[in-house]
Amino acid sequence: MKFKVIPGAVVAPLGFQTGGVFCDIKRLGTGKGSNKGPKRDLALLVSDTPCSVAGMFTTNQICAAPVKVCVSRVAKGITQAVVINSGNANACTGRQGLKDAREMTRLTEKALQIPDGYALVGSTGRIGVEMPMEQVRAGIRDAASQLGRTEAHAAHAAEAIMTSDSRPKQIAIEFKLGGKTVRLGGMCKGAGMIQPGMSATGARPAALPAGLHATMLAFVTTDAALEAKALQRALREAVAHSFNRITVDGDMSTNDTVLVLANGRAGNSAKECSKFKSKDFAVFAAALQFVCLELAKMIVRDGEGVHRVVTVRVSGAKSVAEADAAARAVANSALVKTSWHGGDPNWGRIIDALGYSPATVVEDRVDIGYSAPGARKILWSLKRGQPTRATFRDLCAAVAPTEYDLHIRLNLGVGEAVMYAADLTEKYVDYNKGDVTDPTTLGG
């Protein structure tokens, strides 16, 4: 399904306003920490009217206060606004953290004059530091007074949620739903601690998927009309095929959150779009997945120190779970990731990672090859466990682009999985080792 990309991001859908301000959450004076001047650090996202809401949250057992607040509020299915800050994750902050997260929602509800319980909260930044509430209070007041529906407003919000991101990440699309024109917009942030494994309640699956392991935050708006239950179902599927399929460094954050707000202003039939078997639901679900996947890929491309993005496509595994395990083992292997960085078509490290993954792998069945992103023409380096006649020069050319697909066929079954993965660079290490003589460089 093709969707028309339009400007406006989170305010492209009718009936939404947003804005982002600087309120000095790192409490470092005027941008001393970042050496880049003051950076916006608090955003508001508001619908003119109450919305259906759905959310997916980190399954990390150490889960930040804003996540806890969102999980219980999203369960009610209705919301109207989100307050988001960068610079402090409000994670591992105990009772005070929970109190602060709740105060942030209360202040937002007051400033926007929306009902009690109608605001959600998202935070990202350093772990284990109490929220500077004086600054946050001023920020919420300030942001509420600067809301708007322009591309500039969306850009300010997208900037305010950034941490180590080098650029804002936004998209919006337009499509038809039951004869009506509907819009979906989104913004997100990522960079480090990126291998989300989110569920609707933040609860871990009974059998923990192998390798489940970013703070990533994503906020999606739509003027489509549909019930919260249908929205949650569409989001769960969309996240399973997008945010939960990316890895920068294999670390799963305490704060990963995706929220979708649907205010129904497009005037389509909410009843029709909420039927799981309707065409409308299928179209909406596909559109939501498209937006989530585009945002997820932006996170990988802009991951800390990332130079190359490799789409690992595993097929022929004994099961989907085994395909997933194989793809994650390859996508998170330090040796595979450094070889991607070096432009080295090293299939030995790939087959080694496959071999220690929980997936069943038989050496003389394994095919490994490369293609341009999404292309059908694959240059195989290994077929049935044997090096092909492809030359080292040709293989090097295949892994030289900044984005390509790595195809792995296990030839044992029909299980398939995809991971969108980043290379491992000196820049990643340099960024994350920080500088203890200047603690403001130390990440979350």
Closer to its own copies by Cβ: residue 150 or 411:
411
User: Measured from the CB of residue 193, what is the shortest distance to its own copies in angstroms?
Assistant: 6
Out of 183, 213, 297, 407, point to the residue binding its own copies (CB under 8 A): 213
Of residues 119-138, those binding its own copies (CB under 8 A):
126-128
Interacting stretch for its own copies, rule CB under 8 A, among 34-42, 136-144, 235-243, 353-361? 353-361
Count of residues that interact with its own copies, criterion CB under 8 A: 71
* Six token digits for residue 332: 């998170």
- C-alpha of 170 from chain center: 12
Q: Which of residues 259-318 bind its own copies (CB under 8 A)?
A: none
Q: Does 75 bind its own copies (CB under 8 A)?
A: no
Query: With CB under 8 A as the contact rule, which of the stretches 70-78, 90-98, 162-170, 316-324 interacts with its own copies?
Result: 90-98
438 binds its own copies (CB under 8 A): no
Among residue numbers 168 through 187, which ones bind its own copies (CB under 8 A)?
Answer: none
Residue with tokens 């109608």: 118
Q: Is 343 in the site for its own copies (CB under 8 A)?
A: yes
Please, which residue, 298 or 361, has the CB nearer to its own copies? Answer: 361
Terminal C-alpha separation, the chain: 38
Q: What is the 3 state secondary structure string of the chain? A: CCCEECCCHHHCCCCEEEEEECCCCCCCCCCCCCCCCCCCCEEEEEEEEEEEEEEEEECCCCCCHHHHHHHHHHCCCEEEEEEEEEEECCCCCHHHHHHHHHHHHHHHHHHHCCCCCCEEEEEEEECCCCCCHHHHHHHHHHHHCCCECCHHHHHHHHHHCCCCCCCCEEEEEEEEECCEEEEEEEEEECCCCCCCCEECCCCCCCCCCCCCCCCCEEEEEECCCCCHHHHHHHHHHHHHCCHHHEECCCCCCCCCEEEEEECCCCCCCHHHHCCCCCHHHHHHHHHHHHHHHHHHHHHHHCCCCCCCEEEEEEEEECCHHHHHHHHHHHHCCHHHHHHHHHCCCCHHHHHHHHHHCCCCCCHHHCEEEEECCCCCCCEEEEECCEECCCCHHHHHHHCCCCEEEEEEECCCCCEEEEEEEECCCHHHHHHHHCCCCCHHHCCC
Q: For this structure, is 215 an active site residue?
A: yes
Q: Give yes or no for residue 63 binding its own copies (CB under 8 A).
A: yes
Beta strands 198-199; 180-189: pairing state: unpaired
Region binding its own copies by CB under 8 A among candidate stretches 37-45, 73-81, 170-178, 420-428: 420-428
Which one of 123, 163, 254, 371 is in contact with its own copies (CB under 8 A)?
Answer: 254
The piece of 40-48, 145-153, 246-254, 257-265 that touches its own copies (CB under 8 A) is: 246-254
Quick one: which of 166, 363, 375, 438 contacts its own copies (CB under 8 A)? Answer: 363
Catalytic residue among 215, 221, 247, 425: 215
Residue 376 or 389: the one with the smaller Cβ distance to its own copies is 389
For its own copies, which is the closer residue by CB, 91 or 288? 91
- Which residue lies nearer to its own copies by CB, 67 or 147? 67
CB of 424 to its own copies, least distance (A): 6
Kindly state whether residue 116 participates in binding its own copies, applying the rule CB under 8 A.
no
197 contributes a contact to its own copies by CB under 8 A: yes
Residue pair 427/373 in contact by the 8 Å Cβ criterion: no
Binding test (CB under 8 A) with its own copies, winner from 50, 77, 117, 355: 355
Q: Does 38 bind its own copies (CB under 8 A)?
A: no
Binding status of residue 351 toward its own copies by CB under 8 A: yes
- Residue 206 sits in the site that holds its own copies (CB under 8 A): no
What mask of x and - would describe binding to its own copies in positions 315 to 334, judged by CB under 8 A?
A: -----------------xxx
Q: Does 205 bind its own copies (CB under 8 A)?
A: no
**Residues classed as catalytic:** 215
